[in-house]
Amino acid sequence: MIIITQTFIILVLIGIILLLLNQSGIKKVAINNSVISNFDKADFVRIDKMVKRFNGGLGDNLMIISPTMDSGSVIHDVISNGKEIKWIVDNSRDTWYPNNKDKTEYVCKSIRIHERDSEFIDVQLSKCENYKEDEQLSIITFFKEKL
């Protein structure tokens, strides 16, 4: 009887330990989601959070690894202090075209999520330096079917 009780207690403790380990892993993933690469629902939720934080006057940082059709990924570095957003599109890290060293930097005072049509949702920057104040720059696009 004692052996059965001890075995039962050990199994319960192992179950609790596994449950706690699994929960801490979920929290780490949820907290450390500063890299966008799948353009799925989770990435869209994270972009939406960044936009809302910016519009609420709070800063944020993201790295976006955007797939392309004819070359390697394009890297976007997004740095915001809640008043100004610096969005850098960095082609210099494209492994397929190593001679392309172009970087485009947008410094803007506004960002929004815009539902373009029934298929696409765009992230748009506006009030950007060297652009018309009301010009909306579509910087990345999400396909609704992936959301």
CB-based contacts of 128, cutoff 8 Å, min separation 6: 106, 107, 108, 109, 135, 137
From first to last of the 147 residues of the chain, give the pLDDT tens digit.
777 777 767 766 676 776 666 654 444 444 458 899 899 999 999 999 999 999 999 999 999 988 776 667 788 999 999 999 999 998 776 666 666 668 899 999 999 999 999 999 999 999 999 999 999 999 999 999 988
Domain boundaries, the chain: 1-32, 34-146
